[in-house]
């Protein structure tokens, strides 16, 4: 069962803080199933203890049933707490049953690591405290009523002190472990964001655009058009106002496009003064109308009194078409727009006519 556990929880990749928690749960189930099955066989054939063999068999079935429930529930938090309570309960029952004899209380030391790891600091502290208090009480009773009991009062004090230190240490350990996981996740999210963002304008970069293009086109849900937008005579802007001003205009330009973007469309900076937009659920003529509107939004309001215009090329993306190929077509149309005097939008001539789903 431990080999297929990850299929039950596809939402918990190995950098998720609950990933190892789930693994531990599966291993506990595996260990409990094998142990009960082995004990049942040994009791049946070696010791001829039929009642115990049946009890072990039932125990094995209960563990398997719980395992089935775990897979069906797929709720890590709930199952982890239930399992932690179950383990603490079984341990407690065992220690109370043998009345703390044969140093059975030593088994209580496995409770903090298991419960803290499985169910977090709050549940771990509660369960560990209950089990340790029960152990101390059991030993205390033995000291009072059983003269043959080998632990003395000094030893009992040691058990109490060591128990408190044990719980505090595991509490601290679990806290730092979880904190480290959270930090790692945050750092990873930051890195992902950096790898997907254009450093100057803050919008998506080419990398992220390629991913969005691939996943959206693969879904085949709606027709898409690709627009390539290129600011006109940007070299002149740089030469006249300086590179820093050029940068500021690129940032403001990207923001202007973002403000006019429809939900579902994807904008990215392709490089330099060139931008790409994946326009969703649209015919090429509607796409042209949309880009014309953006063109108007850019040319109507100068950037710090510097007039800016752009030219654009549009193509319809076939579902199986690569970004490379679609980009070449849109770039081709862009070239036509530039050739025809700039500040205009052109369609790629060979784009297929498509029907939009309403």
Ligand X SMILES: Nc1nc2c(ncn2[C@@H]2O[C@H](COP(=O)(O)OP(=O)(O)OP(=O)(O)O)[C@@H](O)[C@H]2O)c(=O)[nH]1
Q: Does 303 bind ligand X (CB under 6 A)?
A: no
Secondary structure letter of residue 47 according to DSSP: S
Figure out which of the listed residues 231, 279, 308, 345 binds ligand X, where binding follows CB under 6 A. 231
Q: Does 206 bind ligand X (CB under 6 A)?
A: no
Distance CA 233, CA 214 (A): 31
Binding part of the chain for ligand X, among 82-90, 246-254, 281-289, 348-356 by CB under 6 A, reads 246-254
Distance CA 232, CA 227 (A): 15
Q: Does 275 bind ligand X (CB under 6 A)?
A: no
Under rule CB under 6 A, which residues in 211-230 are in contact with ligand X? 230
Q: Does 238 bind ligand X (CB under 6 A)?
A: yes
Q: Does 202 bind ligand X (CB under 6 A)?
A: no
Distance CA 324, CA 184 (A): 35
Q: What is the DSSP track for 184-198?
A: HHHHHHHHHHHHHB-
Binding part of the chain for ligand X, among 16-24, 77-85, 89-97, 234-242 by CB under 6 A, reads 234-242
CB count in 10 Å sphere of residue 233 = 14
Q: Which is nearer to ligand X, 21 or 344 (CB)?
A: 344
CA distances from 88 to 35, 125, 142, 357 (A): 17, 12, 21, 58
Distance CA 32, CA 11 (A): 26
Q: Which is nearer to ligand X, 121 or 233 (CB)?
A: 233
Q: Sketch the per residue contact string, 182 through 201, with ligand X: x for CB under 6 A, - otherwise.
A: ------------------x-
Q: Which is nearer to ligand X, 180 or 200 (CB)?
A: 200
Binding part of the chain for ligand X, among 11-19, 65-73, 207-215, 238-246 by CB under 6 A, reads 238-246
Figure out which of the listed residues 15, 27, 122, 243 binds ligand X, where binding follows CB under 6 A. 243
Q: Which is nearer to ligand X, 1 or 200 (CB)?
A: 200
CA angle (270 as vertex; 267, 276 as ends), nearest 5: 40
Q: Sketch the per residue contact string, 122 through 161, with ligand X: x for CB under 6 A, - otherwise.
A: ----------------------------------------
Under rule CB under 6 A, which residues in 325-344 are in contact with ligand X? 338, 342
- Sorted by sequence, the CB contacts under 8 Å of residue 311 that are 6+ apart come out as 229, 230, 232, 334, 337, 338, 342, 343, 344, 345, 346
User: How is residue 351 written in tokens?
Assistant: 């784009």
Binding part of the chain for ligand X, among 172-180, 233-241, 279-287, 299-307 by CB under 6 A, reads 233-241
Rounded least distance, CB 250 to ligand X, Å: 6
Distance CA 11, CA 167 (A): 31
User: 280 pairs with which residues across the strands?
Assistant: 224
Rounded least distance, CB 266 to ligand X, Å: 21
Q: Does 174 bind ligand X (CB under 6 A)?
A: no
Q: Sketch the per residue contact string, 48 through 77, with ligand X: x for CB under 6 A, - otherwise.
A: ------------------------------
**Inter-residue long-range contacts of 183-189, CB under 8 Å, 24+ positions, other chains counted:** 184/15, 185/15, 185/16, 185/17, 188/15
Cα 115 vs. chain centroid, distance in angstroms? 24
Contacts with ligand X by CB under 6 A lie at: 200, 230-236, 238, 243, 246-247, 250, 272-273, 338, 342
């Amino acid at each position: 069962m431990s080999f297929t556990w990850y299929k039950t929880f596809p939402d918990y990749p190995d950098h998720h803080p609950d990933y190892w928690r789930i693994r531990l749960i599966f291993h506990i189930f595996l260990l409990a199933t094998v142990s009960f099955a082995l004990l049942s066989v040994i009791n049946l054939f070696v010791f001829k203890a039929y009642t115990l063999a049946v009890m072990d068999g039932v125990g094995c079935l209960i563990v398997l049933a719980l395992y089935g429930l775990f897979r069906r529930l797929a709720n890590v938090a709930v199952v982890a707490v239930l399992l932690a309570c179950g383990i603490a309960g079984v341990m407690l029952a065992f220690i109370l049953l043998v009345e703390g004899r044969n140093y059975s209380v030593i088994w209580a030391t496995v409770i903090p690591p298991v419960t803290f790891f499985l169910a977090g600091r709050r549940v771990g502290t509660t369960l560990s405290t209950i089990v340790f208090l029960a152990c101390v009480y059991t030993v205390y009773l033995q000291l009072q009523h059983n003269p043959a009991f080998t632990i003395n009062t000094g030893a009992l004090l040691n058990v109490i002190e060591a128990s408190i230190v044990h719980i505090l240490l595991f509490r601290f350990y679990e806290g730092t472990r979880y904190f480290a996981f959270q930090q790692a996740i945050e750092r990873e999210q930051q890195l992902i964001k950096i790898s997907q963002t254009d450093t100057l304008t803050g919008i998506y970069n080419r990398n992220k655009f390629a991913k969005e293009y691939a996943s959206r086109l693969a879904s085949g849900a709606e027709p898409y058009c690709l627009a390539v937008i290129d600011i006109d005579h940007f070299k002149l802007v740089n030469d006249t106002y300086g590179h820093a001003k050029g940068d500021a205009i690129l940032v403001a330009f990207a923001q202007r496009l973002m403000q006019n973007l429809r939900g579902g469309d994807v904008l990215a900076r392709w490089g330099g003064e060139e931008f790409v937009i994946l326009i969703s659920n649209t015919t090429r003529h509607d796409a042209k109308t949309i880009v014309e509107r953006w063109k108007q939004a850019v040319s109507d309001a100068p950037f710090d009194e510097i007039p800016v215009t752009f030219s654009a090329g549009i193509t319809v993306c076939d579902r199986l078409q690569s970004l490379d190929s679609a980009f070449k077509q849109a770039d081709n149309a862009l070239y036509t727009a530039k050739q025809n005097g700039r500040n205009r939008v052109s369609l790629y001539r060979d784009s297929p006519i498509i029907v939009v789903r309403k």
